[in-house]
């Protein structure tokens, strides 16, 4: 499933209250590719993902999948958000089945089989009767991913999916997500501010500059990802991480004088 974004801009508001959030975004994601879009808060990352999901319409430009314009949400795209979005009164199996129930294109038997299969895929087959409040954050996010996969999407859209998790669980979930992508070979688009996460998972990385959001750099990665824990500390990985950090820090503000990226050292991030 090829995803194409051609000269897309997004403005919120009208007249003198209009605010340009994204400007002339163009990118292409090929079938089976894992792509990351990185940028600081306010660079329009989540707005871009909402456009890809069909939850917002571009003010200008075209978004298409396999040559067909994206005009709204569809089962061909499976979004996964940071806040899990699980229904607290449903158990894990019921949460996974919920999206398939809504679509109305699966039989009851298919829903049961797909629910069981994707809970097994994410390692929660024996926890299907638990309620979300009985699960850790990492478990809840795995359920959200299982729910997205069970609906049969062609593209997985991931909006800071591990941003609310602590460092240890986040690292484990990054490993889980990459092995899951290896197994399914779904087209995946990850929105994140975490440079290490983008480098670990993605084959191609686009850097969004802020005010308005626009692509300033594109980086292709070529790591051997057999062992992600070792990769994090390899010289080639650390070198590319430094290059990516410098690319983000070097972004100039637009001509309107708005502020660009600050160094992570300046804003206290590591």
Reading the chain (270 residues) residue by residue, the pLDDT tens digits are 788 999 999 999 888 889 999 999 999 999 999 999 998 878 899 999 999 999 999 999 999 998 899 999 988 899 888 777 899 999 999 999 998 998 888 999 999 999 999 999 888 999 999 999 999 888 998 899 999 989 889 999 999 888 877 888 888 889 888 988 998 888 999 999 899 999 999 999 999 998 899 999 999 998 989 899 899 999 999 999 998 888 888 775 554 444 433 333 333 333
In a domain, 143, yes or no: no
Query: Measured between alpha carbons, how far is 114 from 24 in angstroms, rounded to an integer?
Result: 40
pLDDT, one tens digit per residue, over 36-73 is 999 887 889 999 999 999 999 999 999 999 889 999 99
CATH number at residue 11: 3.40.50.300
Q: Cis (ω within 30 of 0) for the bond into 144?
A: no
Q: What is the pLDDT of residue 170?
A: 83
In a domain, 152, yes or no: no
State the residue range of the domain holding 223: 3-76+185-267
In a domain, 148, yes or no: no
Q: What is the pLDDT of residue 29?
A: 95
In a domain, 61, yes or no: yes
In a domain, 178, yes or no: no
Q: What is the pLDDT of residue 269?
A: 39
Number of domains in the chain: 1
In a domain, 138, yes or no: no
In a domain, 114, yes or no: no
Q: What is the pLDDT of residue 102?
A: 85
Q: What is the pLDDT of residue 155?
A: 92
Q: What is the pLDDT of residue 247?
A: 83
In a domain, 250, yes or no: yes
Q: What is the pLDDT of residue 108?
A: 93
């Amino acid at each position: 499933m090829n995803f194409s974004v051609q000269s897309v801009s997004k403005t919120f508001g009208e007249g003198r209250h209009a605010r340009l959030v994204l400007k002339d975004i163009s990118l292409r994601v090929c079938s089976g590719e894992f792509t990351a879009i990185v940028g600081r808060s306010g660079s329009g990352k989540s707005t871009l993902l909402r456009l890809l999901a069909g939850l917002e319409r571009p003010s200008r430009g075209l978004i298409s999948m396999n040559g067909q314009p994206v005009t709204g949400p569809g089962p061909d795209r499976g979004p996964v958000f940071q806040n899990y979005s699980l229904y607290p009164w449903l158990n894990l199996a019921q949460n996974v089945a919920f999206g398939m129930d809504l679509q109305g294109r699966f039989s009851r038997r298919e829903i049961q089989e797909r629910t069981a299969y994707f809970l097994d895929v994410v390692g929660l087959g024996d926890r299907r009767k638990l309620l979300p409040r009985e699960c850790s954050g990492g478990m809840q996010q795995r359920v959200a991913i299982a729910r997205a996969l069970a609906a049969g999407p062609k593209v997985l859209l991931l909006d800071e999916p591990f941003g609310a998790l602590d460092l240890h669980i986040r690292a484990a979930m990054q490993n889980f997500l990459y092995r899951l992508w290896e197994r399914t070979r779904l087209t995946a688009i990850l929105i994140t501010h975490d440079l290490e996460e983008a480098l670990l998972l993605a084959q191609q990385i686009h850097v969004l500059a802020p005010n308005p959001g626009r692509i300033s750099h594109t980086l292709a990665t070529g790591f051997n990802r057999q062992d992600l824990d070792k990769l994090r500390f390899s010289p080639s990985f650390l070198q590319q991480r430094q290059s990516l950090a410098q690319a983000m820090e070097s972004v100039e503000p637009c001509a309107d004088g708005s502020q660009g990226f600050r160094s992570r050292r300046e804003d206290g991030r590591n």
